[in-house]
Structure 1
Amino acid sequence: MDVTSDDDAFDTRSTPTQPTPDRLREAHHGTLFSAQDLNPAPPSGEKLQQIAHDPSGHRARLRKRLLDGGEGALADHEIIEYLLMTAIPRRDTKPLARSLLARFGSLAGVFNADSVALAAHPGMGETSAAAIRIVALATRRFARHQVSEQPIFNTWQMLISYLTVDMAHLKVERVRALYLDTKNRLIRDEHLGDGSLDEAAIHPREVIRKALDLGAASMILVHNHPSGSPEPSRADIQITQKIAEAGHHLGISVHDHVVIGREGHVSLRQRGLL
């Protein structure tokens, strides 16, 4: 037996009907909907780009100043802010940029900060830390390339800039030797060790032996002071003189010993200490 519910038997709901042209005219006061009105096309790629890069927005203004301006186009915090924008595209990165400067002290301090410390900073992460570190890496590579292209003494200020970027903000004392050929061109930038500059850490004979192995004619010693002051200590002067003496007997010249610090640099040669 076929059983029909009351709802089925006495269903008074009307079936929806498709809108007629007359109804569409009434709704729009005599104007028919066009197919484009009923099914609007999605924004074009150009339109989407305009939406994403609103020329009135802060980021667009930063970008324009960067592209149109010179070296001073952006303040230090704006440089960091712009870098972070590439890693964090949907967040205001200005407060984060300012907090990084406050913590690490300067633009150079941020770029030379430890990767782990950068990533652990509130609001940062590995992607943001990598965006900062890649700039530091590119800067060092560029500076080193300029230094190695021609004789060291023709690019002395470039050399100091390269060493400052690379060493001034290190938390440990690092010793390096720049081994040069007969035309004073860089053969090798050698990391000799970390720690205080004394004979326990740096052996004069080993420094000279490396020069002989490389066929170097001379060298420049370099180390940094994590304290920030580049003033040479008595130990700095003594070990330099011992290395110079050992090199003299084997025809290897020590042109200079440069001490790097956040407050500047000191040349032992210019001080008359070598």
Structure 2
Amino acid sequence: MKKAQTAEAEDDPGLRESAPHFHGHRQRLRERFMEAGEGALADYEMLELLLFRAIARRDVKPLAKALIARFGSYAETVAARPERLREVDGLTEAAIVEIKLVEAAARRLTRGALQKRPMLSSFMEVLDYCRTAMAFAEREQFRILFLDKRNALIADEVQGVGTVDHTPVYPREIVRRALELGASALILAHNHPSGDPTPSAADIRMTKDIAAIAQPFGIVVHDHLIVGRNGHASFRGLKLI
């Protein structure tokens, strides 16, 4: 019975007086979000909305602010690894699941925009997807988009996850995988956890190695995107390939 009253308090004015003080705050925050959109809410308020479902009987504003203080922003909190989220006092396992569900949903939404579409005419969608998938990750990831003859997506695969500044990449393995999938072209992508997307000498050398090994098999490297918190770099745009 007590549980039912707690759930109803936000909607029943007669129960609000006996409900915890934060219930009215939750309702007001929900209403502001629905009326004005996410742009009207601070990062910690967006996290509050996310935590409401998982932590029903506690004021989550202090926890939301602690998460922002720890990770830096809403995006960085959502992208944080579960083991790092578990280091935050008061964050339950159910709340961590909710946070990671949001990250997964964002990836699926942006990936859905790429399905069945020619990649070369959808540069911004490709960039949005890569930024959503990797820009705020704490470790470097190397991702490959495998394309067919019409430049539509066949597969999207993470080929490696490394440290904060290095991911081992094996050009021959990448080309072998492209041949297995029947791919005609590739878009390479990786993140720089430092935030600076400027290509390194190693990035440039590795990209040229992949292109050189792929070329005899009729496989083209269309672009290599580097994404970070502070922007992106396109090898094609920089005339590096």
TM-score range, shorter chain: 0.7 to 0.9
Aligned to 1:208: 175
**What SS does structure 1 have at the residue aligned with 2:32?**
helix
Find the residue that maps to 1:133 and give its secondary structure: helix
Q: Does the residue aligned with 2:187 lie in a helix, a strand or coil?
A: strand
Q: Given the alignment of the two structures, is residue 50 of structure 1 paired with residue 12 of structure 2, yes or no? A: yes
Q: 2:135 aligns with which of 148, 168, 171?
A: 168
> Do the aligned partners of residues 261 and 47 (structure 1) sit closer, same or farther apart at CA in structure 2, a change above 3 Å counting?
closer
* Partners of 1:118 and 1:125 within 8 A in 2: no
Query: What's the CA shift string for 1:211-240, capped at 9, x where partnerless?
Result: 111111100111111222111111110111
- Identity within the alignment, %: 44
Cα deviation, residue 119, structure 1: 2.6
Out of 53, 72, 77, the position equivalent to 1:105 is 72
- TM-score, normalised by the number of residues in structure 2: 0.87
Aligned to 1:226: 193
Please say if residues 9 and 16 of structure 2, whose CA atoms lie closer than 8 Å, have aligned partners that are also in contact. Answer: no
> Partners of 2:29 and 2:79 in 1: how far apart?
24
Which of 59, 73, 93 in structure 1 is aligned with 2:40?
73
Aligned to 2:210: 243
Say which SS state the counterpart of residue 117 (structure 2) adopts. coil
Q: Deviations over 1:179-219 (max 9, x none)?
A: 0011111101122112335xxx3222221121111111100
TM-score, normalised via structure 1 length: 0.77
- In structure 2, stretches of 5+ residues that fail to align are 18-22
Letter in 1 for 2:12: Q
Cα 1:245–1:164 change in 2 (3 A) is same
Contact 2:10–2:16, Cα closer than 8 Å, also in 1? no
The structure whose RCO (Cα within 8 Å, separation 6+) is larger is 2
Larger Rg: 1
Mean alpha-carbon deviation: is it higher for 187-196 or for 74-83?
A: 187-196
2:113 alignment partner, one of 137, 146, 157: 146
The answer to whether the aligner puts 1:137 opposite 2:104 as a matched pair is: yes
SS of the residue corresponding to residue 182 of structure 1 reads: coil
Q: After TM superposition, where is structure 1 displaced by more than 4 Å over at least 4 residues in a row?
A: 45-49, 51-56
What secondary structure sits across from 1:249 in the alignment? helix
- Aligned match of 1:59: 26
- Which of 69, 83, 91 is the matching residue for 1:124? 91
Asked if 1:82 corresponds to 2:49, the answer is yes
Segment drifting more, 62-71 vs 249-258: 62-71
Contact 1:119 1:128 in 2 (8 A): no
Of 210-219 and 167-176, deviating more is 167-176
Instruction: Extract unaligned runs of 5+ from structure 1.
Output: 1-42
Change (3 A) 1:210 1:64: same
Inter-partner Cα distance in structure 2 for 1:86 and 1:241: 48
Counterparts of 1:52 and 1:134, CA distance in 2: 34
* SS state at 1:192 partner: strand
